C-alpha cells in the first residue's frame, strides 16, 4: 500500500510539472496571457443589449465567524469576450453545448492587420491578407485557432472609440464602425482551410457597417465557432502560442461568455 501511495505522489508531481506547475502550485517556465476582457459595468455589448448586470450580495463576516460572499449576475449571451456558436446564424448549427471541446483548444496563429485598420475603421480582412500571412510564415491555416488582430482591443472600454458610436438600439446598430473579416475571406477559410475556431478583437466577426452579416452566415453554416471581443493580442506572437478558449456550457445556447488564455512559446 505504501509503495502504491508513493507511486501516486510521483505521478501527480510529474503531471503538475507537465502543465507548468510545481507540486506547491508555483508556475514554472511557462507564461500564460489572459485574452479576456473582464465582465463589469463597463463591458461593451451590442447596442440592442442591456449589458452586464452585477448584483452584489450581502457579503461579509457571518454570525458564526466565517466570511461568506455570493453575488448574482445577468447577461446576454453575446457581449464582452464571448462565443458565437454556429447556431447563432444557422438553424442547423451546433449550439454552445454541442461544439466538441477540442475546437476550443490548440495551436494559435495571429493574423495582424492593424496597419490596414488604422487607416480604415471599416476594413474587411481579405483572402489576400490570409494568403500573405501563410506565405510569410510558411504554413497553412490548418488545425489552428486563428486570431485576427485589428488593434481595436486598445480602445476598450471606450464605447464610442470601440463601436464607433454611443447610440443604443437600432440607431446604434446603424452607426457601428469597426473592422471585421470579409465574407470572401470567411468563405475561403471555410472551403479551403480547416480551422478549429476564429477569434477577433472587435465586437463582431463582420465589420461594423454590415447589414446581412455574411461572414457570420458562412462560418456558422460551416460549424466554425467564433470568439469576439478578444483582448491583449499584442502579447501573442504570430505563431507558437497555445490557446484555451472555453465558453460557458449553455444548453441550447447560441453563445456565451468565454475565458480565453494563451500559453506563449518559450
On whether both 196 and 245 belong to a single domain, the answer is yes
On whether both 16 and 128 belong to a single domain, the answer is no
On whether both 17 and 84 belong to a single domain, the answer is no
Segment 135-144 mean pLDDT: 98
On whether both 82 and 146 belong to a single domain, the answer is yes
Q: For residue 28, what pLDDT is reported?
A: 59
Q: Is residue 94 within 8 Å of residue 239, measured between CB atoms?
A: no
CA distance 263 to 266: 9
On whether both 100 and 209 belong to a single domain, the answer is yes
Q: Is residue 201 within 8 Å of residue 149, measured between CB atoms?
A: yes
Q: What is the pLDDT of residues 88-116, one digit of tens each?
A: 999 999 999 999 999 999 999 999 999 99
On whether both 47 and 11 belong to a single domain, the answer is no
Segment 114-142 mean pLDDT: 98
Taking alpha carbons only, the member of 90, 86, 107, 106 closest to residue 98 is: 86
Q: Is residue 246 within 8 Å of residue 102, measured between CB atoms?
A: no
On whether both 18 and 112 belong to a single domain, the answer is no
On whether both 45 and 17 belong to a single domain, the answer is no
Please give the helix or strand (H or E) that residue 127 lies within, else none.
Answer: helix 127-137
On whether both 22 and 48 belong to a single domain, the answer is no
On whether both 22 and 95 belong to a single domain, the answer is no
Taking alpha carbons only, the member of 21, 15, 33, 35 closest to residue 201 is: 35
Q: How confident is the model at residue 59 (pLDDT cuts 50, 70, 90)?
A: very high
Taking alpha carbons only, the member of 177, 105, 180, 106 closest to residue 148 is: 180
CATH of the domain at 87: 3.50.30.50
Residue 194 three-state SS: strand
Q: For residue 29, what pLDDT is reported?
A: 73
Q: What is the pLDDT of residues 154-211, one digit of tens each?
A: 999 999 999 999 999 999 999 999 999 999 999 999 999 999 999 999 999 999 999 9
Residue 108 three-state SS: strand
Percent above pLDDT 70 for the chain:
89
Taking alpha carbons only, the member of 186, 45, 71, 80 closest to residue 127 is: 186
On whether both 16 and 113 belong to a single domain, the answer is no
On whether both 21 and 152 belong to a single domain, the answer is no
Backbone phi, psi, residue 101, to 5° = -65, -25
pTM for this predicted structure:
0.89
Range of the domain at 81: 35-264
* Mean pLDDT taken over the chain: 92
The domain tally of the chain equals 2
Amino acid at each position: 500500500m505504501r509503495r502504491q501511495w508513493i507511486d501516486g505522489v510521483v505521478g501527480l508531481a510529474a503531471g503538475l510539472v507537465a502543465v507548468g506547475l510545481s507540486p506547491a502550485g508555483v508556475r514554472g517556465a511557462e507564461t500564460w496571457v489572459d485574452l479576456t476582457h473582464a465582465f463589469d459595468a463597463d463591458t461593451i455589448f451590442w447596442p440592442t443589449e442591456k449589458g452586464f448586470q452585477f448584483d452584489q450580495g450581502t457579503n461579509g463576516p457571518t454570525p458564526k465567524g466565517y466570511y461568506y460572499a455570493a453575488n448574482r449576475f445577468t447577461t446576454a449571451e453575446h457581449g464582452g469576450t464571448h462565443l458565437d456558436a454556429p447556431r447563432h446564424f444557422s438553424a442547423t448549427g451546433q449550439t454552445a453545448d454541442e461544439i466538441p471541446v477540442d475546437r476550443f483548444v490548440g495551436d494559435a496563429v495571429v493574423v495582424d492587420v492593424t496597419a490596414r485598420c488604422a487607416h480604415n475603421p471599416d476594413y474587411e480582412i481579405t483572402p489576400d491578407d490570409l494568403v500573405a500571412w501563410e506565405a510569410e510564415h510558411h504554413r497553412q491555416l490548418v488545425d489552428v485557432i486563428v486570431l485576427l488582430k485589428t488593434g481595436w482591443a486598445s480602445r476598450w472600454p471606450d464605447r464610442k472609440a470601440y463601436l464607433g458610436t454611443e447610440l443604443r438600439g437600432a440607431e446604434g446598430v446603424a452607426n457601428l464602425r469597426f473592422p471585421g473579416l470579409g465574407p470572401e475571406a470567411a468563405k475561403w477559410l471555410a472551403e479551403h482551410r480547416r480551422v478549429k475556431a476564429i477569434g477577433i478583437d472587435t465586437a463582431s466577426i463582420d465589420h461594423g457597417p454590415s447589414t446581412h452579416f455574411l461572414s457570420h452566415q458562412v462560418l456558422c453554416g460551416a460549424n466554425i465557432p467564433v470568439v469576439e471581443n478578444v483582448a491583449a493580442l499584442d502579447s501573442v506572437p504570430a505563431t507558437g502560442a497555445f490557446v484555451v478558449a472555453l465558453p460557458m456550457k449553455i444548453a441550447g445556447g447560441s453563445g456565451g461568455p468565454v475565458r480565453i488564455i494563451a500559453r506563449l512559446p518559450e
